[in-house]
Amino acid sequence: MSKIKTLGEFIIENQSSFPYSTGELSKLLNSLRLAAKMVNHEVNKAGLVDIIGGAGDVNAQGEDQQKLDVFANDKFIQAITNRDIACGIVSEEVDDFIAISGSNESNNGKYVVLMDPLDGSSNIDVNASVGTIFSVFRRITPVGTPVELKDFLQPGKDQIAAGYVIYGTSTMLVYSTGDGVNGFTLNPAIGSFYLSHPDIKIPKTGNIYSVNEGNYTHFPQGVKKYIKYCQQEEDERPYTSRYIGSLVSDFHRNMLKGGIYLYPNSTKNKEGKLRLLYEANPMAYITEQAGGKAISSNQRILDIVPSNIHQRIPFYCGSTEMIEKLESFLKN
């Protein structure tokens, strides 16, 4: 019987598959793992301590912050900063990028991290799943110099790692460093993540579509027609509609079972709602590494060159055949 690997063991054993492997990326992934365990511990206490509900403030996008948003943001920033590996952070909860100086006040970190510390945080109050999303790039500017905006405004195809944590009936950390996708489940009794979902592949097609149909009347015509296609009684349809309101949760289900996730632009959100750098890019990276497809209207997500750190875009991802069918409706 083969030994079940912990996340730490897996990272060490697979360092050679990391781009630019120096051991530092491993340390960065370990810092994300540590922060995820701290957030998981706090999520599990929701309802027992004063951690649910609004924080009485708004984030960089003018959205109401939940108390757990603030907690998760602080813990991930602290864990990343303490390792002296990253030179900068972009967070959904902070208006500008955060420059990190090392212990000797220099900027020797090789990586920048972009994150949504707690995706779907409004679900906490009703005990539904939430998540964390992260993306890692190598900096463009020389090591030792101050981090700059251009270090963060890189196309998603240049990511060297991306992943998410889902806090649900069990807590899982799913990530890729460009060599496939692997999922690790937290054993709460001993506080370790174990490899539970090796080499995840998205089915080529599925029967689930995930979209907020309450906004149907505001969607582009091509998206409306595709949704009607999903609902028709023909062939393997109608598809099943499943939507939680947490990108991580909806994405995770579709990746394992096969399906499509849609968050279009609309008359209410003309540029789209999801953020390119720390929501669409990392999820598109995971999607492609698992054999799926991710697009924004008429182009590949990972080819988009960002213009600002909180840029919003339309976002569609999932099983390849389902995305290609959507593309045919969008083109027409």
Omega before 238 within 30 of 0, i.e. cis: yes
* Contacts of residue 64, Cβ cutoff 8 Å, sequence gap at least 6: 54, 55, 57, 58
Indicate the pLDDT class of residue 123, thresholds 50, 70 and 90: confident
What local confidence, expressed as pLDDT, does residue 225 receive?
98
- Asked whether residue 273 is marked as a ligand-binding residue, the answer is yes
- Asked whether residue 122 is marked as a ligand-binding residue, the answer is yes
Would you kindly state where each structural domain of the chain is located, as residue ranges? 7-197, 208-331
- Asked whether residue 199 is marked as a ligand-binding residue, the answer is no
Q: CA-to-CA distance for 168 and 83, rounded, in angstroms? A: 28
* Contacts of residue 174, Cβ cutoff 8 Å, sequence gap at least 6: 163, 164, 165, 166, 181, 182, 183, 184, 197, 200, 252, 286
**Nearest Cα residue to 323 out of 226, 220, 186:** 226
- Asked whether residue 212 is marked as a ligand-binding residue, the answer is yes
- Asked whether residue 64 is marked as a ligand-binding residue, the answer is no
| Pair 301, 294: CB distance under 8 Å | yes
Domains 7-197 and 208-331 share a fold: no
Q: Which helix (H) or strand (E) holds 163?
A: strand 161-167
- Asked whether residue 175 is marked as a ligand-binding residue, the answer is no
What local confidence, expressed as pLDDT, does residue 125 receive?
74
What local confidence, expressed as pLDDT, does residue 48 receive?
45
Instruction: Give the domain 208-331 fold.
Output: D-Maltodextrin-Binding Protein; domain 2 (3.40.190)
| Pair 239, 209: CB distance under 8 Å | yes
Phi, psi (rounded to 5 degrees) for 71: -60, -50
* CA 43 to each of CA 167, 228, 248: distance values in angstroms, whole numbers, following the listed order: 8, 37, 15
- Asked whether residue 50 is marked as a ligand-binding residue, the answer is no
CATH of domain 7-197: 3.30.540.10
Helix/strand/coil for 55: strand
- Asked whether residue 116 is marked as a ligand-binding residue, the answer is yes
What percent of the chain is modeled with pLDDT above 70?
A: 90
What local confidence, expressed as pLDDT, does residue 278 receive?
98
Q: Which residue has the tokens 């790692």?
A: 161
Q: Check whether 119 has a pLDDT greater than 50.
A: yes
Q: CA-to-CA distance for 175 and 285, rounded, in angstroms? A: 10
Give the residue-averaged pLDDT of 31-57. 72
Q: CA-to-CA distance for 101 and 109, rounded, in angstroms? A: 8
Q: What count of other Cβ atoms lies within 10 Å of the Cβ of residue 188?
A: 13
Give the residue-averaged pLDDT of 146-165. 97
Beta bridge partners of 86: 111
- Asked whether residue 111 is marked as a ligand-binding residue, the answer is no
pLDDT in tens, 15-30: 776 655 567 888 899 9
What local confidence, expressed as pLDDT, does residue 11 receive?
86
Give the global pTM.
0.92
* CA 216 to each of CA 212, 223, 237, 266, 289: distance values in angstroms, whole numbers, following the listed order: 7, 9, 19, 9, 30
Six-digit token pair at 159? Answer: 């990511």
What local confidence, expressed as pLDDT, does residue 41 receive?
86
* CA 201 to each of CA 169, 226, 236, 254, 285: distance values in angstroms, whole numbers, following the listed order: 22, 24, 21, 11, 13
Give the residue-averaged pLDDT of 212-237. 96
**Nearest Cα residue to 91 out of 278, 274, 305, 247:** 278
Compute the C-alpha angle 282/93/111, nearest 5°: 50
- Asked whether residue 120 is marked as a ligand-binding residue, the answer is yes
What local confidence, expressed as pLDDT, does residue 14 receive?
82
Looking at residue 63, the DSSP 8-state letter turns out to be P
- Asked whether residue 119 is marked as a ligand-binding residue, the answer is yes
- Asked whether residue 224 is marked as a ligand-binding residue, the answer is no
What local confidence, expressed as pLDDT, does residue 87 receive?
94
What local confidence, expressed as pLDDT, does residue 49 receive?
46
Q: What count of other Cβ atoms lies within 10 Å of the Cβ of residue 93?
A: 23
**Nearest Cα residue to 180 out of 204, 163, 156, 158:** 163
